[in-house]
Amino acid sequence: MSSQLKESKIAFIGGGNMAAAIIGGLTVTGIAKQNIVVSEPWAVNRDKMAAQGLRVTTSNADAARDAHLVILAVKPQVAQGVCRELADAWSSSSSSPLVISIAAGITLASLQAWFKPTGQEGAAAPPHIVRVMPNTPALVGEGASGLFAANDVSGAERELATALVRSVSKAVEWVDREELIDVVTGLSGSGPAYFFAMVEHLVESATKLGLTREQATRLATQTCLGAGKMLVESPEEPAQLRKNVTSPNGTTAAALDSFEASGFAGIVDKAVNAATTRGEELGRTLGQ
């Protein structure tokens, strides 16, 4: 792990699902809990974080004031208010941290405008910002994340962001246009839910056909894990792995033909487009 990351004080603004996933991954990889502070208004989430030995607060300003890295992990709908609050907190300090925003859709232009210093003499310059789109498998160190940095982000800051993301993600992809973060959102940010939904449907079908729910769940989840592991570890392309399962005129062909007859490729294409478009829309409607 990078020594820069190990020595950084990290503040999470928002202690919900995604913050919990990233923090879970970070602590497993050896980031000291005393270097993490979580600001979270909801007592239930705060207590969960405190129970893990993390420092918690209800004050975003207190959490962020001395941090080297601030992870903006609130819903897009509250991002503007939170950024303005943080800008106020930094207006009386001489340095500002690197901000990592994971808020879906919220653009760098919006974040930069909301973080503008409030005009006090000697106030810190606005923070440098990296947008990251992680996903919840970060919790088990199996995340997939996309990143995009503002122009003013230095090489060292990029390395710090990469180190943070890499400590909870196996796939780490910098993209070269900001719009592509919305595509990453539609693919891997939301993606775990697509696989969970698939497993839910598989379990429903097999239960209707006679397996117990428990048996069906064990078989479906292990199939998902096994297929995922093969996708990662095998040198073969996904299409070849699919063909290896598909005996001519066999059972798999019957299922895949059924998928195709129901327009599977089109269904997936529409879904990824819907998520990507929703990201763009969030950015437009909630942003500058």
Ligand X SMILES: NC(=O)C1=CN([C@@H]2O[C@H](COP(=O)(O)OP(=O)(O)OC[C@H]3O[C@@H](n4cnc5c(N)ncnc54)[C@H](OP(=O)(O)O)[C@@H]3O)[C@@H](O)[C@H]2O)C=CC1
Say if CB 20 and CB 139 are below 8 A apart: yes
Residue 13 is assigned to a ligand binding site: yes
Taking the alpha carbons of 29, 138, 8, 179 in that order, is the dihedral positive or negative? positive
Residues 1-40 that bind ligand X (CB under 6 A): 13-19, 39-40
Q: What is the 3-state secondary structure (H, E, C) of 80-119?
A: HHHHHHHHHHHHCCCCCCEEEECCCCCCHHHHHHHCCCCC
User: Would you state the torsion angle of the CA atoms of residues 54, 191, 82, 278, taken in this order, to the nearest 10 degrees?
Assistant: -170
| Contact code string over 130-169 relative to ligand X, x by CB under 6 A | ---xxxx---------------------------------
Q: Of all helices (H) and strands (E), which one includes residue 36?
A: strand 36-39
CB of 63 to ligand X, least distance (A): 9
The secondary structure of 203-235 as a DSSP string is: HHHHHHTT--HHHHHHHHHHHHHHHHHHHHH-S
Q: What tokens appear for 128 in the block? A: 């440098």
| Contact code string over 268-287 relative to ligand X, x by CB under 6 A | --------------------
Residues 163-222 that bind ligand X (CB under 6 A): 189
**Residue 169 touches which of ligand X, ligand A1CAB, none (Cβ within 5-8 Å per kind):** none
Alpha carbon distance 42, 39 (integer Å): 9
Residue 143 is assigned to a ligand binding site: no
| Contact code string over 59-88 relative to ligand X, x by CB under 6 A | -x------------xxxx-x---x------
- φ, ψ for residue 248 (rounded to 5)? -55, 130
Q: What tokens appear for 213 in the block? A: 């729910």
**Residue 45 touches which of ligand A1CAB, ligand X, none (Cβ within 5-8 Å per kind):** ligand X
Residues in contact with ligand A1CAB by CB under 6 A are: 104, 185, 189-190
CB of 134 to ligand A1CAB, least distance (A): 9
- 78 vs 211, beta carbon nearer ligand X: 78
Alpha carbon distance 26, 208 (integer Å): 41
Residue 23 is assigned to a ligand binding site: no
Residue 76 is assigned to a ligand binding site: yes
| Contact code string over 81-120 relative to ligand X, x by CB under 6 A | -x-------------------xxx----------------
* Interface residue list for ligand X (CB under 6 A): 13-19, 39-42, 45, 60, 73-76, 78, 82, 102-104, 133-136, 189
Binding residues for NADPH: 60
Binding residues for NADP(+): 13-18, 73-76
